[in-house]
Amino acid sequence: MEPPAPADARLAIGARALGVRFPLVQAGMGGVAGPRLAAAVSGAGALGTVALYRSPPAGCARLVTRTAELTDRPFAVGFVPEVAGPLLAEQLAAVLAAADRPLTFTSFGPPTAAFAAGARAGGHRLLVQVGSLAEARTALRLGADVLALQGEEAGGRHLGGTAVRRLLAETVAAAPGVPLLVAGGLHDGRQLRAAAAAGAHGAVAGTLFAAAAESDAHPDYRRALVTAGPGATVVTDRFALGWPGRRHRVLAGPVTDAERPPPAAVIGWLVQDGVRHPVPRGAATVPTVRVEGAVGEMARYAGTGSAAIRAVLPAARLVDRLRAEAAADAPARPVPGTAARTLSDSPPDFPPVFPPDFPPVSQ
């Protein structure tokens, strides 16, 4: 029997590192990634993530408990240390108390040393998303088991400004043997296989799952993702209210297109537990099913992969499709224009995350 190809071997390593069958992680998108989405992704053999964002401890426990009720598979819990602030320790304690199985704790950016130690002491995996080689080194010093390398192609808040393929090459050279996931622009299993040939062990996908049937994204937001074309996203700083200091990739709209930042008037409401909270223009609030108002003027986070989304599909179908496309014997992509375009076909001018001439690594 022939030994597995390097790409296959790396994907197998990634699957073992995450405790799943297929090394794909659904991103922890605050407000969008709820228990239904996380459970659906995990049930399909990948790693679903339930996002905590600013949830109070009791809310964190409910999210973890509900996800556990919906799936018997491993799943992840997403923390955002820089947003949670002093609440982070309480969130961690609540999740540790509610966990009924080993979990993967994902951290957007390197967490505090206390958080890293607490998570790993509980027997859980620690996955840290980073945007630079310096952050990667910090995360490894904290004991991260897996690194997710976020490129500038990613939707949502940016930890850095480097293309994902460049960040991967830098990290592979500096940290051999560390399980690495690429994050940003991924929408096709063939991209994942190309990333594995370049040294990755798996991937993180956010925008693809924001448009999934189980997502808690507002219906208008999902429709906008489905109809987005090439060049539909922009990196901006105009949705900083509530989360300053981070540039972010969103679907372009009236707020980003305006010559000057529009005034921060109330444009909608977030309804939680029967209480209506105002959403001002320029807020970091993502439009979810709990939001009403001018969705088109809100922070509709989206990566460059949104240009390839064609329909709202069940999360399990998305996972199955990427798994099939990533297989060694997957058929080559048809030349655009020679046949009817399918969900997995990119527009002719859609830039691949890993172009065909991107050099593989020997690791």
What is the mean pLDDT of the segment spanning 245-253? 97
The SS3 call for residue 14 is helix
Q: What band does 356 get if pLDDT is binned at 50, 70 and 90?
A: very low
| Helix residue ranges per DSSP H, 74-163 | 81-84, 88-98, 113-121, 133-141
Residue 323: what are its φ and ψ, rounded to 5°?
Answer: -65, -45
Burial of residue 187, with CB atoms counted within 10 A of its CB: 0-12 exposed, 13-18 middle, 19 or more buried: buried
Q: What band does 335 get if pLDDT is binned at 50, 70 and 90?
A: very low
Burial of residue 309, with CB atoms counted within 10 A of its CB: 0-12 exposed, 13-18 middle, 19 or more buried: buried
Of 156-170, 188-202, 264-278, the range with the lowest mean pLDDT is: 264-278
Q: What band does 29 get if pLDDT is binned at 50, 70 and 90?
A: very high
State the residue for tokens 């999740």.
Answer: 95
pLDDT tens profile 125-161 = 999 999 999 999 999 999 999 999 999 999 999 999 9
Q: Which of 152, 212, 210, 217 is nearest to 185 (CA)?
A: 152
CA–CA dist 292, 341 (Å, integer):
34
pLDDT of residue 358: 44
Q: How high does pLDDT run on average in the chain?
A: 91
The SS3 call for residue 33 is coil
Contact 136, 105 (CB under 8 A): no
pLDDT of residue 304: 96
**In terms of pLDDT, which residue wins out, 305 or 338?**
305
Q: Which of 190, 229, 249 is nearest to 308 (CA)?
A: 229
What is residue 283's DSSP assignment?
Answer: B
Residue 287: what are its φ and ψ, rounded to 5°?
Answer: -75, 110
pLDDT of residue 339: 30
Residue 322: which residues within 8 A CB-CB, separation 6 or more? 22, 24, 188, 189, 192, 205
* β pairing state of 275-280 and 291-293: unpaired
* β pairing state of 180-183 and 125-130: unpaired
What is the mean pLDDT of the segment spanning 168-190? 96
Q: What band does 348 get if pLDDT is binned at 50, 70 and 90?
A: very low
Q: What band does 4 get if pLDDT is binned at 50, 70 and 90?
A: low
Structure tokens at 126: 């620690």
pLDDT of residue 277: 94
Q: Is the pLDDT of residue 347 over 90?
A: no
Q: Is the dihedral of CA 312, 316, 321, 326 positive or negative?
A: positive
Q: What band does 328 get if pLDDT is binned at 50, 70 and 90?
A: confident
Contact 45, 316 (CB under 8 A): no
If residue 11 lies in a helix (H) or strand (E), which one and from where to where? Answer: helix 6-18
pLDDT tens profile 264-289 = 999 999 998 889 999 999 999 999 99
pLDDT tens profile 47-99 = 999 999 999 999 999 999 999 999 999 999 999 999 999 999 999 999 999 99
Q: Is the pLDDT of residue 253 over 60?
A: yes
Q: Is the pLDDT of residue 353 over 70?
A: no
State the residue for tokens 């062990």.
Answer: 201
What is the mean pLDDT of the segment spanning 182-193? 96
CA–CA dist 233, 307 (Å, integer):
9
pLDDT tens profile 219-237 = 999 999 999 999 999 999 9
pLDDT of residue 338: 27
Cα–Cα distances in Å, from 320 out to 70, 173, 211, 346? 19, 31, 16, 18
pLDDT of residue 65: 98
How far the first Cα of the chain sits from its last, in Å, is: 22
The SS3 call for residue 125 is strand
